[in-house]
Amino acid sequence: MAEADVTNRKPQDEVQALFEPQGVREEQTPRTDAEGHGERRPAAAPASPESAPPQAEAALAPIEEPVVSPHPYATKLREQRLAKEASGHARRDTLLYLDGVNKSFDGFKAINKLSLVVARGEMRAIIGPNGAGKTTMMDIITGKTRPDSGEVFFNGDVDLTHHDEAAIASMGIGRKFQKPTVFESHTVEDNIRLSLAGPRSVLEALFHRKDQAERDRIDAILETTRLTEKRKLLAASLSHGQKQWLEIGMLLAQDPELLLVDEPVAGMTDAETEETARLLREIARTRSVVVVEHDMSFVRELGVKVTCLHEGSVLAEGPLDQVSADPKVIEVYLGR
């Protein structure tokens, strides 16, 4: 497997190009140091205005209206609004911001006061026992499940709880499911084609014409996910691991800013696991990634900050070594 991969690889810069976001988006902040961000919990005090980027200040400007109403209630409202804006500030340079999120199913608290911040360009691994709420958290971020309460923001100030799955996906959040789901009666190539970023209207799809740019992009993605050979095959005929990759390929085609990847290496061979880790690391050079995974060696290989969930809330957060040494984590997850 690995040998074949080496021969198949394209020159590094071509692959690199693939990872650059295609759409016109606001400038990426440079990749932040995971540790540095770990200290800033969402519940922390509002960041001071000085630290806000300039364009954020401009956005805030209209709010600096003169206080005309002496009425105490109006003043209070205004203060509240300012405080809210300021906390928006704190969110502003985060890509994903969850604070105090709750979700219960029939009284069972699947997510319990969950708070989590992912910075732009960060890759985060999430571990935790089965039923910890990892998948439910992704459901909440991608709009599949509405939280009972709590804040979920994307890109600083987009409130994800007000959008549905399709809108959230179009904003640039891609998701790979725990159970690989690809379009089985389509070819590998068509799977990618359907996922390619671009207009999502029905009429556009009806009158869509294939062009060279599209073909090139599909080629590149197939190359990256090592599926070039299989492009004409029906997705149904792929092996489990290949389906996982195809799904990652579909994610890439979507060209998202944030990738949510649920248990990508479940059911993969060791070689495939290693390959997947490399793929994800590569992707994470230009995009933010949240990976849920049980496989500790895989998580170690990723070498990023780790969050351990338990019973719907964060149990521990930090570098893997630190988290895996945490007695609480050992108690509930790793076992003695």
Partner 1 sequence: MLLARFLGPRVWILIAALLLAAVLVPMANLYLSPSHPLHVPSYMVPLLGKYVCYALLALALDLVWGYVGILSLGHGAFFALGGYAMGMYLMRQIGARGVYGNPELPDFMVFLNWKELPWYWYGFDQFWFAAIMVMLVPGLLGFVFGYFAFRSRVTGVYLSIITQAMTYALLLAFFRNDMGFGGNNGLTDFKDILGFPIQADSTRAGLFAASCIALAIAVLIVGWITRSKLGKLMVAVRDAESRTRFIGWRPEYVKLFAFTVSAVMAGIAGALYVPQVGIINPGEFAPVNSIEIVVWAAVGGRGTLLGPVIGALLVNYGKTYFTAVAPEFWLFFLGGLFVFVTLLLPRGIIGTIDYGWETWRSRRRASREEKGESDDGEGQPLASPAE
Ligand X SMILES: Nc1ncnc2c1ncn2[C@@H]1O[C@H](COP(=O)(O)OP(=O)(O)O)[C@@H](O)[C@H]1O
Give whichever of 128 and 143 is closer to ligand X, judged by the CB atom: 128
Q: Which does 200 bind (CB under 5 to 8 A by kind): Mg ion, ligand X, partner 1, none?
A: partner 1
Give whichever of 42 and 129 is closer to Mg ion, judged by the CB atom: 129
Q: Cα separation of 263 and 253, whole Å?
A: 19
Q: Which does 132 bind (CB under 5 to 8 A by kind): partner 1, Mg ion, ligand X, none?
A: ligand X
Among 96, 182, 290, 306, binds partner 1 (CB under 8 A): 182
190 near partner 1 (CB under 8 A) = yes
Q: Cα separation of 297 and 270, whole Å?
A: 10
Alpha-carbon dihedral sign for residues 222, 227, 228, 230: negative
* Interface of this chain with partner 1, residues 294 to 323, rule: CB under 8 A: none
28: left (phi over 0), alpha (psi -120 to 50) or beta: beta
Give strand pairing partners of 102: 149
> What does residue 100 show for φ and ψ, rounded to 5 degrees?
55, 40
205 near partner 1 (CB under 8 A) = yes
Q: Which does 308 bind (CB under 5 to 8 A by kind): Mg ion, ligand X, partner 1, none?
A: none
Among 114, 116, 118, 136, binds ligand X (CB under 6 A): 136
The candidate with the shortest Cα–Cα distance to 125, out of 324, 266, 300, is 300
Give whichever of 33 and 184 is closer to partner 1, judged by the CB atom: 184
Binding string, 84-113, against ligand X, x = CB under 6 A? Answer: ---------------------x----x---
**DSSP label of 109:** E
- With H, G, I as helix, E, B as strand and everything else as coil, classify residue 264: coil
Give whichever of 252 and 306 is closer to ligand X, judged by the CB atom: 306
The answer to whether 256 and 247 are in contact (CB under 8 A) is no
Alpha-carbon dihedral sign for residues 228, 232, 234, 239: negative
Q: Cα separation of 185 and 183, whole Å?
A: 6
Give whichever of 90 and 329 is closer to ligand X, judged by the CB atom: 329
The candidate with the shortest Cα–Cα distance to 323, out of 139, 125, 149, 180, is 125
Size of the site for ligand X (CB under 6 A): 10
Interface stretch with ligand X, choices 89-97, 134-142, 267-275, 314-322 (CB under 6 A): 134-142
Give the DSSP H or E segment for 19.
Answer: helix 12-19
Q: Which does 336 bind (CB under 5 to 8 A by kind): Mg ion, partner 1, ligand X, none?
A: none
Residues lying near ligand X in the complex (CB under 6 A)? 105, 110, 128, 130-136
Site of interaction with partner 1 (CB under 8 A): 142, 144, 164-166, 169-170, 174-175, 177, 181-187, 190, 193-195, 200-202, 205-208, 232, 234, 236, 250, 254
